[in-house]
Amino acid sequence: MTAQLFHNLQQWQWRGWHLCNAGFAPLLARVDLHQLAADNAIAWPAQIAQAVPKRQAEYLAARLLLRRLQHQLGLTPAQILPGADRSPCWPAGQQGSVSHSGDLVLAGLGSHTGRRLGVDLEQWLTSAQYQELAPAILSADEQQWCQRENSNMTLAQQLTLIFAAKEALYKALYPDCRQIMEFSAARVMAITASQILLQLTQDWSADWCAGNEIWLEYQTSPHGVQVLTEVSSRTAASGAGV
């Protein structure tokens, strides 16, 4: 259904979650987004209808991939609409997470009731962006840690990875905390060839407290990095990702 609408589409499974990423902007830019949504029975909520075309394309690309995953998993092809806070309202029996960066989109979905997924996709930051963004994303201790870390990554790449990891963690824990958390609410503790460890520096909720540590997995490409994490659900509330 959606294969012809994307390029470089890849699918895989991770811990029982079904994931899919693809490039989308060049194709979606040449079609009527509203008509494409209608043709694929994707609801077009008011807040998206009023958004800029870039946001509309991101929204539609993510929903098309999620619909593809719903079909492949044998799940009800229910609408996944954004809530007032822009986080997806997942249908009963479905959980997932989405991310977009530039003309790339990443989506994950599963039928798990006791687990949450958090994903983030980022294109590599430049050295100039590191100088500009590092103070907002990293604490002074984290910046020093990156300087000391014996890594094959440049400082800009380390920042990209840490940023993506904090975003993925936030998406996974948001259903429990239901509040905006600053980048300082988690800090990097370790980076391996495929994993990154974050530690909460403050209480996110009654159950996710300062000192809790969460491992996240990541994969790199010439274009950027994607991070995946899974946490146990500690509330009946739904939603993860943006």
Is there a contact between 110 and 119 (Cβ–Cβ < 8 Å)? Answer: no
**Same domain, residue pair 208 and 142:** yes
**Same domain, residue pair 124 and 228:** yes
Instruction: Note whether residue 93 is domain-resident.
Output: yes
**Same domain, residue pair 44 and 134:** no
Instruction: Note whether residue 178 is domain-resident.
Output: yes
> Looking at residue 34, what is its pLDDT?
84
> Looking at residue 1, what is its pLDDT?
45
Instruction: Note whether residue 242 is domain-resident.
Output: no
Is there a contact between 120 and 137 (Cβ–Cβ < 8 Å)? Answer: no
**Same domain, residue pair 108 and 18:** yes
> Looking at residue 242, what is its pLDDT?
43
DSSP structure class, residue 179? S
For residue 18 the two structure tokens come to 């079904």
pTM attached to this predicted model: 0.91
Beta bridge partners, 219, equal 226
Q: Residue 88 sits in a domain of what CATH number?
A: 3.90.470
Report how far residue 106's alpha carbon sits from residue 79's, in angstroms, rounded to the nearest whole number. 18
Provide the 10 A C-beta neighbour count for residue 91.
17
Instruction: Note whether residue 106 is domain-resident.
Output: yes
**Same domain, residue pair 108 and 126:** no
Count of domains in the chain?
A: 2
> Looking at residue 32, what is its pLDDT?
82
Burial code of 133-159, b = ≥16 C-beta within 10 A, e = fewer? bbeebbeeebbebbeeeeeebebbbbb
**Same domain, residue pair 60 and 79:** yes
Instruction: Note whether residue 135 is domain-resident.
Output: yes
Which residue, 47, 78, 112, sits at the end of a domain?
112
User: What are the residues whose beta carbons fall under 8 Å from the beta carbon of 235, sequence distance 6 or more?
Assistant: 175, 176, 205, 207
Instruction: Note whether residue 237 is domain-resident.
Output: no
**Same domain, residue pair 82 and 128:** no
**Same domain, residue pair 38 and 142:** no
Which residue, 84, 112, 140, sits at the end of a domain?
112
| pLDDT tens over the chain, length 242 residues | 455 578 899 999 999 999 999 998 666 666 788 888 888 899 999 989 888 888 888 999 999 999 999 999 999 999 999 988 888 999 999 999 999 998 899 999 999 778 999 999 999 999 999 999 999 999 999 999 999 987 789 999 999 999 999 999 999 999 889 899 999 999 999 999 999 999 999 999 999 999 999 999 999 999 999 999 999 976 544 344 44
**Same domain, residue pair 144 and 97:** no
**Same domain, residue pair 39 and 70:** yes
Report how far residue 89's alpha carbon sits from residue 162's, in angstroms, rounded to the nearest whole number. 27
Domain range for 34 is: 3-112
Distance (Å) of CA 172 to CA 32, 40, 65, 177, 215:
33, 28, 19, 10, 12
Instruction: Note whether residue 227 is domain-resident.
Output: yes
